[in-house]
Amino acid sequence: MLIPSHTLLAPDEMAEADRRAALSGLSSYGLMEQAGRAVAAEVLRHFPVLERAVVLCGPGNNGGDGYVAARVLAESGVPVALFYLGDPDRLKGDAERAHRNCKINGAPLSAYRPDGGKADGDVVIDALFGAGLARPLEGEVKALVEAVNEAECPVVAVDLPSGIDGRTGRVMGAALRAQHTITFMARKPGHLLLPGRDLCGHVTVTDIGIPARIVAACAGRLAENGPAVWQASLPRPETAQHKFVRGHLMVFSGGPSATGAGRLSAAAGLRTGAGLVTIAAPGNALSVLATQLTAVMLKRIDDLDGLEGVLEDKRLTAFVLGPGFGIGERARAFALALSGRALVLDADGISSFSEDPQSLFDAFRQERGEEQGQRVLTPHEGEFARLFADIAGDRSLGKVEKARAAASRANAVIVYKGADTVIAAPDGRALINANAPPWLATAGSGDVLAGIIGALLAQKMPAFEAAAAGVWLHGDAGGRLGAGLTAEDLVGAIGPALAGLLAG
Ligand SMILES: NC(=O)C1=CN([C@@H]2O[C@H](COP(=O)(O)OP(=O)(O)OC[C@H]3O[C@@H](n4cnc5c(N)ncnc54)[C@H](O)[C@@H]3O)[C@@H](O)[C@H]2O)[C@@H](O)CC1
Ligand SMILES: Nc1ncnc2c1ncn2[C@@H]1O[C@H](COP(=O)(O)OP(=O)(O)O)[C@@H](O)[C@H]1O
Ligand SMILES: [K+]
């Protein structure tokens, strides 16, 4: 059994895997030896010629890995300087043994003066803190971390760059900026969540011998977003299908001066394989839209009565409400009327509920019809705070926990957008997305995402999978375009992204 590459283990889950491995008879010191050796090998691989390896060892097992790596590097003929935090005579368990076996005379951390920024400078092996980081860095260790960063020494981090919280990816006081990070068995959420991801550099996962079945049993309901998670439920066109089988997506447009966002969503929906896409618009926007649309159809809907009439047509299989729609009573009424159908609520559709989010959540709690539960909310950070102010402000929660709490409260799938978008379901499943290039931060990019997810919902993909696949496709399309992309280009790149997925 292999550990799937999208597996993520929170630090407490990794500690549990460690504990179960020891209970199953594996030597925990043996695991530390494997870990330390792997670190030394990684250092030699990246820096085959190095003047001085500086190993910084902390007071726990991360430091233990450091003592093993220092010993192995010295045995390989590398000049090693070792600096420790705390009193090494007070080390316990495996770390004490690793220290005992390492015959290098170290010095206290305060004695280290980073020598960096040039070809023959220090290569720093960071074994100060890993999964056991318990509080913000302060005092001498914080000053040292800042000095190493300032000196621009290349850093190879053991498990995590010291100062990064493995659960949330947050910087605790200060954190080392690593060029390479070597972690064990599976990545932690902090390797993917920002700013942790940026500070890890290139991450290598090494098997140190904990059986895959133990790792799998300890993994929770969080993983990296990718095709392995939802490929099986991705809609695939079949020869015998006609367009109605591929779903009918309705996108709501704003008034005559705000039709672009809805058009982007609709175009993205069509590209993502919805059989039919209709833009619903108020009467005064119809002539503007009519000059802009070809394959996308147009339907006049002015008010709630008009919407309710249209909703009798059960061939409409999903809806996108929010892009360019306008904030206010009309958006609230439309969202509540659509709350029992497959719905992507985005942008203005979300912001319209900032005064009374509970009314939306109450509507989502009422189960109605066959599309029940197929609701996706796609807030960026600002919109998230409007609907979930208390959750957004809770400093104890990371982005994953925030998205999960919001999904449970709203009874909807939450796509908490950003460079590290988190997708969470009310039942606790969650995914961190990491394939989005920064070029996606461009006007209209969110409208395209809403249309992609809407089209997948229209084709009956379950909401969590549709949201996750949509976010991934959006990122992949962006990655194919790169620098200078616009939201219109993004629509054009959905086809190649989908083709790549369906071929894979
Ligand atoms: N399967 C596993 O879990 C394995 C874990 N290993 C290593 O063990 C590490 C986890 O070891 P530990 O749980 O001992 O934790 P760490 O060694 O990461 O840190 C815990 C120690 O740091 C101190 N500390 C925490 N935050 C501090 C702060 N802000 N300022 C000063 N001191 C602070 C704690 O009091 C404790 O002494 C992993 O990151 C990994 O490197 C490896 O040995 C191999 C096996
Ligand atoms: N720095 C970034 N790196 C990668 N993706 C990003 C970044 N910033 C934003 N995104 C993505 O781009 C999209 C922007 O959506 P949104 O904020 O709603 O923009 P708009 O309202 O202009 O359409 C989201 O999918 C978000 O996850
Ligand atoms: K570390």
Give, for ligand 2, the residue of 416, 435, 440, 447 to mutate: max count of ligand atoms closer than 8 Å to Cβ: 440
Task: Give the closest ligand to the alpha carbon of residue 419.
Answer: 2
Q: How far is the CA of 90 from the centre of ligand 1 (A)?
A: 14
CA nearest to 490, candidates 447, 448, 429, 450? 448
Task: Give the closest ligand to the alpha carbon of residue 471.
Answer: 2
Identify any residues that bridge with 55 across adjacent strands, giving them in sequence order: 82, 125
Handedness of CA 490, 491, 492, 498 (dihedral sign): positive
Query: Which two three-digit tokens encode residue 41?
Result: 């090998």
In short, whether 130's Cβ falls inside 6 Å of ligand 1 is yes
Q: Is the pLDDT of residue 241 over 80?
A: no
Residue 84 is predicted with a pLDDT of: 98
Residue nearest to atom 30 of ligand 1 (CA): 137
Identify any residues that bridge with 278 across adjacent strands, giving them in sequence order: 250, 297
Residue 242 is predicted with a pLDDT of: 67
- Tell me: is residue 447 an annotated ligand-binding position: yes
Exposed, middle or buried, 457 (CB in 10 Å: 0-12/13-18/19+)? buried
In short, whether 35's Cβ falls inside 6 Å of ligand 1 is yes
Per-residue pLDDT tens over the stretch 93-125: 999 999 999 999 999 999 999 998 888 889 999
Q: How far is the CA of 324 from the centre of ligand 1 (A)?
A: 49
- Tell me: is residue 209 an annotated ligand-binding position: no
The one-letter amino acid at 212: A
CA nearest to 467, candidates 427, 426, 414, 405? 414
Taking only Cα atoms into account, the Rg of the chain, rounded to an integer number of angstroms, comes to 26
Domains and CATH numbers, the chain: 11-220 (3.40.50.10260), 227-503 (3.40.1190.20)
Q: Is the pLDDT of residue 238 over 90?
A: no
Name residues whose C-beta falls within 8 Å of residue 93's C-beta, 6 or more positions apart in sequence: 28, 61
266: left (phi over 0), alpha (psi -120 to 50) or beta: alpha
In short, whether 445's Cβ falls inside 6 Å of ligand 1 is no
Strand 155-158 relative to strand 180-184: parallel, antiparallel, unpaired?
A: parallel
Residue 1 is predicted with a pLDDT of: 79
Name residues whose C-beta falls within 8 Å of residue 468's C-beta, 6 or more positions apart in sequence: 225, 229, 230, 423, 431, 433
- Tell me: is residue 503 an annotated ligand-binding position: no
Q: Within 10 A of 47 (CB to CB), how many other CB atoms are there?
A: 16
Per-residue pLDDT tens over the stretch 427-464: 999 999 999 999 999 999 999 999 999 999 999 999 99
- Dihedral, 234, 235, 236, 240 alpha carbons, nearest 10: 160
Average pLDDT for 300-327: 96
Q: Which atom of ligand 1 is nearest to the CA of 135?
A: 29
Identify any residues that bridge with 204 across adjacent strands, giving them in sequence order: 182
Residue nearest to atom 41 of ligand 1 (CA): 62
In short, whether 449's Cβ falls inside 6 Å of ligand 2 is yes
Q: What is the DSSP string of 168-227?
A: T--BSS-----SEEEEESSB-GGGTSTTHHHHH-EEEEE--S--HHHHHHH--SEEE-SH
3-state secondary structure string across 485-496: CCHHHHHHHHHH
Handedness of CA 193, 196, 197, 200 (dihedral sign): negative
In short, whether 13's Cβ falls inside 6 Å of ligand 1 is no
Give, for ligand 1, the residue of 24, 31, 61, 101 to mutate: max count of ligand atoms closer than 8 Å to Cβ: 61
Contact (CB, 8 A) for 379 and 399:
no
Q: Which residue has the tokens 């995914």?
A: 431
For all residues of the chain together, what is the average pLDDT? 95
CA nearest to 271, candidates 442, 456, 437? 456
C-alpha to C-alpha distance for 32 and 61, rounded to whole angstroms: 8
C-alpha to C-alpha distance for 262 and 268, rounded to whole angstroms: 10
Q: How far is the CA of 200 from the centre of ligand 3 (A)?
A: 10
- Tell me: is residue 417 an annotated ligand-binding position: yes
Per-residue pLDDT tens over the stretch 188-207: 999 999 999 999 999 999 99
Q: How many CA atoms lie within 13 Å of 287's alpha carbon, on the beta-carbon side?
A: 1
C-alpha to C-alpha distance for 171 and 56, rounded to whole angstroms: 19
Give, for ligand 2, the residue of 399, 431, 445, 491 to mutate: max count of ligand atoms closer than 8 Å to Cβ: 445
Average pLDDT for 287-296: 92
- Work out the pLDDT band at 213, boundaries 50, 70, 90: very high
Q: Is the pLDDT of residue 328 over 90?
A: yes
Q: How far is the CA of 355 from the centre of ligand 2 (A)?
A: 24
Q: For 7, phi and psi rounded to 5 degrees? A: -65, 135
Q: What is the DSSP string of 219-257?
A: --SEEE-SHHHHGGGS----TT--GGGG-EEEEE--STT
Task: Give the closest ligand to the alpha carbon of residue 487.
Answer: 2
In short, whether 224's Cβ falls inside 6 Å of ligand 1 is no
Q: Which residue has the tokens 């497959």?
A: 342
C-alpha to C-alpha distance for 108 and 428, rounded to whole angstroms: 45
Per-residue pLDDT tens over the stretch 4-58: 999 999 999 999 999 999 999 999 999 999 999 999 999 999 999 889 999 999 9
- Work out the pLDDT band at 244, boundaries 50, 70, 90: low
Residue 137 is predicted with a pLDDT of: 98
Residue 120 three-state SS:
coil
Q: Which atom of ligand 1 is nearest to the CA of 158?
A: 41
Q: How far is the CA of 209 from the centre of ligand 2 (A)?
A: 39
In short, whether 145's Cβ falls inside 6 Å of ligand 2 is no
Residue 164 is predicted with a pLDDT of: 98
Exposed, middle or buried, 9 (CB in 10 Å: 0-12/13-18/19+)? buried
Q: How far is the CA of 441 from the centre of ligand 2 (A)?
A: 4
Q: How far is the CA of 176 from the centre of ligand 1 (A)?
A: 16
Rounded-to-5 percentages of helix, strand, coil across the chain: 45, 15, 40
Give, for ligand 2, the residue of 378, 380, 415, 471 to mutate: max count of ligand atoms closer than 8 Å to Cβ: 380
Q: ipTM above 0.90?
A: yes
Q: Which atom of ligand 2 is nearest to the CA of 447?
A: 23
Query: Which two three-digit tokens encode residue 331?
Result: 């958006």
Give, for ligand 1, the residue of 37, 68, 133 to mutate: max count of ligand atoms closer than 8 Å to Cβ: 133
